[in-house]
Amino acid sequence: MANAAVSAEAKGGGISRREFLYYIWGASIALYAAQFTGLLVWFLLPRFREGEFGGKFTISIDELPAVNAEPTNVPAGRFWLVNLDTRQGNELMAKAPDESEEIVGVAAIYKVCTHLGCIYAWTPANNRFECPCHGSKYRLDGRRIESPAPRSLDRFSMEFLDADKNPIPGTQSELVNDFIAPVPLPDNAAFISVDTGDRIVGPRQCLLGDLTQECP
């Protein structure tokens, strides 16, 4: 009688063999699901190599255009490199009436029109970017001159590297008013690293053509 009471008490305080197997089975299923999810995420996430669009591009400083000169085309990265300085303003890059701060530094501009995604080009005769599809026009730094583009051109983040391709502190792109600001060129820069996986959408600014009354 005492043994039966002990047995019943033991059963009441523990788990049965069937319950134990259920727990083991449930834990195994959960572990399998976690592993499967991890592999699926790893498979679906894009993995881009150096020099492949979506990854980083390392450009020699020798390819950087002169200040306020025509942009450098980097077809593989789908961007233009520009070297800006409104303090030395010329017909390609001059400060607009509504711009209170000088625009100085290097920027990487995405080579896709913000209207309907056409590939625009630099037009030397007019000193600006022009889209052949619907006539949108942009200044050297990507700011809209003429619509139908709804906003200025997008930019990629970038930083400068030294001769050993190590990042130079303080030369990483910064966001100013939610947009990538040009990065001033440091004296010891040997390379430019452009991250085409980090694109920031261009701002909706007033049309430059409206400000200057020059909309050909």
Give percent above pLDDT 90 in the chain. 71
Q: Return the residue matching tokens 């909309």.
A: 215
d(CA 209, CA 216): 9
Please say whether the structural domain 56-212 has been given the CATH code 3.40.50.300.
Answer: no
40 versus 73: which is more confidently predicted?
73
Question: Per-residue confidence at 197, pLDDT binned at 50, 70, 90?
Answer: very high
At 37, is the pLDDT very low, low, confident or very high (cuts 50, 70, 90)? Answer: low
pLDDT tier for residue 12 given thresholds of 50, 70 and 90: low
pLDDT at 9 over 50: no
Reported pTM = 0.77
Predicted local confidence at residue 170, as pLDDT: 96
The residues facing 58 across adjacent strands are 193
Range 9-27 average pLDDT = 66
Is the pLDDT assigned to residue 46 strictly greater than 80? no
> Residue 45: is its pLDDT beyond 60?
no
DSSP letters along 17-72, please? Answer: HHHHHHHHHHHHHHHHHHHHHHHHHHHHS----TTSBTBEEEEEGGGSPPTTSPPE
Residue 87 has pLDDT above 70, yes or no: yes
Q: Locate the domains of the chain by residue range.
A: 2-44, 56-212
Predicted pLDDT at 32 = 67
What are the DSSP calls for the chain, one per residue?
-HHHHHHHHHHHHS--HHHHHHHHHHHHHHHHHHHHHHHHHHHHS----TTSBTBEEEEEGGGSPPTTSPPEEEGGGTEEEEEEEGGG--SSS---TT--S--EEEEEEESS-TTT----EEETTTTEEE-TTT--EE-TTS-EEESS-SSPPPEEEEEEE-TTSPBPTT-S--EETTEEPPBPPPTT--EEEEEEEEEEPPP----HHHHHT---
Could you report the per-residue pLDDT of 90-138, keeping only the tens digit for each?
999 999 999 999 999 999 999 999 999 999 999 999 999 999 999 999 9
pLDDT of residue 181: 97
Q: Are 56 and 80 in contact (CB under 8 A)?
A: no
